[in-house]
Structure 1
Amino acid sequence: MKKLILLAAAVCVTAVSTFAQNFQDVLSKSFTALDTTWTQDKKIEASNKLGLIAKKFDKEWLASYYAAYGKVSLTFSEQDGSKKDAYLDEAQTYLETAVSLLGKDNDETYVMRAMIANSRIGVEPQKRWQKYGAIFNENLDKAKELNPDNPRIYMLRGISKFYTPKMFGGGKKASLPYFEKADGLFAKRTDTDITKPYWGKQTNDYFMGQAKGEDKE
């Protein structure tokens, strides 16, 4: 009887390990497909795959988290405001599912909330900056309280500063310290473990390079 119990336990451990590995492999491949293409059609395809993964692995918060990231990513190249909002609505739904599975927000979900808010501003900046700007700042502050070493906090701050007019304290020069701070923190992280979010380095590299140029406004 003791041998049977030990055998059953070993089978369960193997099954759980296989499930986790399969989940991580599938998630990693779909995320990489999304994050390494600049073609909107391909991004939509990859984002949809992340949505299917979230549906299949519906007990894994990271599946819904990355599905949210996928939807936000689609707004970067989308010109139609109504479509942007629709993508962001989907992103918000996936994010709330991720938080529900976690049982609370963590630094990564707060960062995602901030990114969604920032993307909302981009649809109609003059009408939305006050409402969503407050949401953006509040969530990044909360993320920093939990993990001040999360590089995406400073990257998003930098992007916000980058697009803020110089007369209001923004511009390239003002944004550069944030990108440099993020760069140092990205350097300490690995990009081989999908369960430890590492997205954003390419974006940060791009904006850091742009921020080193002269302000012309």
Structure 2
Amino acid sequence: MKKSFLMAGAALMLSVSAMAQQFTDVLSKTFEAFDTTRVQEKKLEASNKLNLIAKKFDGEWLAAYYAAYGKVGLTYNESDGAKRDLWLDDADTYISQAVSVLGKDNDETYVMKAMIANARLGVDPKSRWQKYGKVFEENLDNAKQLNPDNPRIYLLRGIAKFYTPAMFGGGKKTALPYFEKAKSLFAARTDTDITKPYWGAATNNYFLGLASTEDKE
């Protein structure tokens, strides 16, 4: 009897391990497909797959987290504001699901909430900056309290400063220190484990290059 219980336990552990491996493999592959293409149709296809992963692995917070990431990413190459808002509605739903699974926010969910807020602001900056600018800053502040070494905090703040007119405290020179800080933190975290979010390094390098150049007179 004892031997049977041990065998059943071992079989269960192997099954759980296999499911976990399946989850990380499919998530990593789909995320890379989304994050390495600039073709909107391919991004949409990969985002839809991330949605399916979130549905299948609804007990994994990272599944919903990356589904939210995909929805936000789709908005950057879309000019239709109504469509962007619908995708961001989905992103809000997914990040709420991630927090529900976790039982609380962590630094990465706060960063994602800030990212969603910034994308909301981008749909209509003139009428939304006051509301979503505050949400953006509050979420990044919360993330920093939990983990000041998260490079995505400084990446997102740098991007926000980069696109803010100099007369309002933004511009290249103001944004540059944020990108430099993010670069050093990205360099200190070289792993590419999908269960430990690592996105943003390439984007940071791009903006670091832009912010480092002098504007022509």
Q: Smaller-chain TM-score range?
A: over 0.9
In structure 2, distance between residues paired with 1:215 and 1:50: 40
Aligned residue for 2:124? 124
In structure 2, distance between residues paired with 1:192 and 1:181: 20
Shift in Å at residue 216 of structure 1? Answer: 5.2
| 1:57 matches 2:63 | no
Question: Which whole-Å deviations, capped at 9, do the CAs of 1:9-61 have from their partners, x for residues lacking one?
Answer: 11111111100000000000000000000000000000000000001111111
Aligned residue for 1:17? 17
In structure 2, distance between residues paired with 1:125 and 1:173: 22
Shift in Å at residue 8 of structure 1? Answer: 1.1
Shift in Å at residue 192 of structure 1? Answer: 2.4
Q: Could you tell me the percent identity over the aligned residues?
A: 71
In structure 2, distance between residues paired with 1:210 and 1:158: 11
User: In 2 relative to 1, CA 215–86 (structure 1 residues): closer, same or farther, beyond 3 Å?
Assistant: same
Aligned residue for 1:81? 81
| 1:71 matches 2:71 | yes
How big is the alpha-carbon RMSD for the aligned residues of Structure 1 and Structure 2? 1.0
Runs (4+) off by over 6 Å: none
Question: Which whole-Å deviations, capped at 9, do the CAs of 1:153-191 have from their partners, x for residues lacking one?
Answer: 000000000001111111011101000100011111134
The code of the aligned residue for 2:74 comes to L
Provide the secondary structure at the position in 1 that maps to 2:185. helix
Aligned residue for 2:209? 209
In structure 1, distance between residues paired with 2:201 and 2:54: 24
Shift in Å at residue 215 of structure 1? Answer: 3.4
In structure 2, distance between residues paired with 1:10 and 1:137: 48
- Judge conservation of contact 1:95–1:109 (CA < 8 Å) in 2: yes
My pick for the range that moved more, 132-141 or 181-190, is 181-190
- Judge conservation of contact 1:171–1:215 (CA < 8 Å) in 2: no
User: In 2 relative to 1, CA 189–214 (structure 1 residues): closer, same or farther, beyond 3 Å?
Assistant: same
In structure 2, distance between residues paired with 1:191 and 1:45: 26
The code of the aligned residue for 2:115 comes to M
Contiguous gaps of at least 5 residues in structure 2: none
Report the TM-score, using the length of structure 2 for normalisation. 0.98
In structure 2, distance between residues paired with 1:54 and 1:182: 29
Aligned residue for 1:103? 103
In structure 1, distance between residues paired with 2:190 and 2:203: 16
Question: Which whole-Å deviations, capped at 9, do the CAs of 1:123-158 have from their partners, x for residues lacking one?
Answer: 110100000000000000000000000000000000
| 1:198 matches 2:198 | yes
Report the TM-score, using the length of structure 1 for normalisation. 0.98
Provide the secondary structure at the position in 1 that maps to 2:76. coil
Provide the secondary structure at the position in 1 that maps to 2:105. coil
Aligned residue for 2:138? 138
In structure 2, distance between residues paired with 1:24 and 1:189: 19
Shift in Å at residue 7 of structure 1? Answer: 1.1
Contiguous gaps of at least 5 residues in structure 1: none
Provide the secondary structure at the position in 1 that maps to 2:192. coil
Provide the secondary structure at the position in 1 that maps to 2:139. helix
